[in-house]
Amino acid sequence: MSVFDNSEYDNHEQVLFCRDAASGLFAIIAIHDTTLGPAAGGCRMWPYATTSDAVYDVLRLSRAMSYKNALAGLPLGGGKAVIIGDPLKEKNAKLLTSFARYVQKLGGQYYAAEDIGIGVEDVEVFAMASNYVFGLTETGDPSPFTALGCFHGIRASVKHKLNRDTLKGLTVAVQGVGKVGLHLCENLHEAGAGLIVADVNSKAVAHVVENYGAKSVAPGEIYSQEADIFSPCAMGGVLNDITIPQLKACIVAGSANNQLAEARHDKMLHDRGILYTPDYVINAGGMLNASGDIFGEYDVNEVMKKISGLYDVTLRIFKTAHQEGRLTSEVADELARQRIAEGKVSKK
């Protein structure tokens, strides 16, 4: 099957396969849409089982970035990159530099940043070979900002579904307590929510248990916990035919990208009375913060104001979905596409 036949192709503007035998680089850069501005999105390094898996992932991620940036009100398009390999074993300066050179050749059509397997320190290596990177130390670690946006999204979900203005006394099952999940747990704990957590990293779990009084469970047991909210904060595709029937939560709201294994799984959640909070809407906090590197200006107060605004954006999507009898993912997608279409009209 060619890239053009992939179910997630969705009229991407460019898909670039990058290979450098000398450094061991095998990467894919996907540029979904540049109507609103240059494509921007993180670079992920992951040991994909097949090239097809990597293509599928990068196409889904880049499209989500188009929608995320559009709904966040940023003059940016959507793009994403994946480096195929184990970041714990295969990542090195030579490989990172080789990837950055490919980004440089695109001449500003795509800006790269950190993602799973690629940290701020790796982006600094990118910056030595490319002018088109963002999320450097000047704007700081994006994780707390991503977590804060997710927190506001959870607040909006609770307001809409439970008609509550507080999280006090509610229980949140957090899947993944890496950088973003850890900060989210801190926010939730401070808001008075109880926590149930799971992660393959036992040290990270122990930290959350010790500092925030969380209950820990095995990764495979996190779906079936007695919780009000299920918060996926690790990898995508976790909401599927097997996991959704296990959920006891009435709200799904988390920071992970592409949580739905397939678009139809939002309908499956809806039919079970579970409110799905579109991930790319509420995980935009890190992008709102880090994008200051692209624009050459950074005001943390303005960033915090925009992140707080994700609460209202999320509530509007819920309200529209409820009034029109539609799925939240459909409403969010349509709104994002509408803003991109308006951008095309304004360019004529």
In terms of CATH, what superfamily is 3-62+78-127?
Leucine Dehydrogenase, chain A, domain 1 (3.40.50.10860)
Tell me what the mean pLDDT of segment 134-138 comes to. 77
Helix or strand (DSSP H, E) at 16: strand 14-20
Two domains, one topology: 3-62+78-127 and 143-284+312-335: yes
Question: What confidence tens digit (pLDDT) does each residue in 208-247 have?
Answer: 999 999 999 999 999 999 999 999 999 889 999 999 999 9
Show the beta-strand stretches assigned E in 237-334: 251-252, 275-276
pLDDT band at 346 (very low <50, low <70, confident <90, very high): low
Looking at residue 107, the DSSP 8-state letter turns out to be T
CA nearest neighbour of 252 among 192, 314, 182: 314
| Domain 143-284+312-335 classification at class level | alpha beta
pLDDT band at 61 (very low <50, low <70, confident <90, very high): very high
CA pseudo-torsion sign 206, 211, 217, 221: negative
CA nearest neighbour of 293 among 112, 32, 64: 112
Strand 77-84 relative to strand 110-113, pairing: unpaired
Tell me what the mean pLDDT of segment 243-256 comes to. 98
CA nearest neighbour of 250 among 150, 162, 149, 156: 162
**DSSP of 214-254:** -EE--GGGGGGS--SEEEE-S-S--BSTTTGGG---SEE--
Tell me the C-alpha distance between 161 and 61, whole Å.
28
Tell me what the mean pLDDT of segment 199-212 comes to. 96
**Contact 306/286 with Cβ under 8 angstroms?**
no
Question: Domain locations in the chain?
Answer: 3-62+78-127, 143-284+312-335
Q: Please pick, among 80, 91, 161, 306, the residue that the annotation labels catalytic.
A: 80
CA pseudo-torsion sign 6, 3, 71, 120: positive
pLDDT band at 138 (very low <50, low <70, confident <90, very high): low
29 contact partners, CB below 8 Å, separation of at least 6: 14, 15, 16, 18, 58, 79, 80, 81, 102, 103, 106, 110
| 80 assigned to active site | yes
Question: What confidence tens digit (pLDDT) does each residue in 163-191 have?
Answer: 999 999 999 999 999 999 999 999 999 99
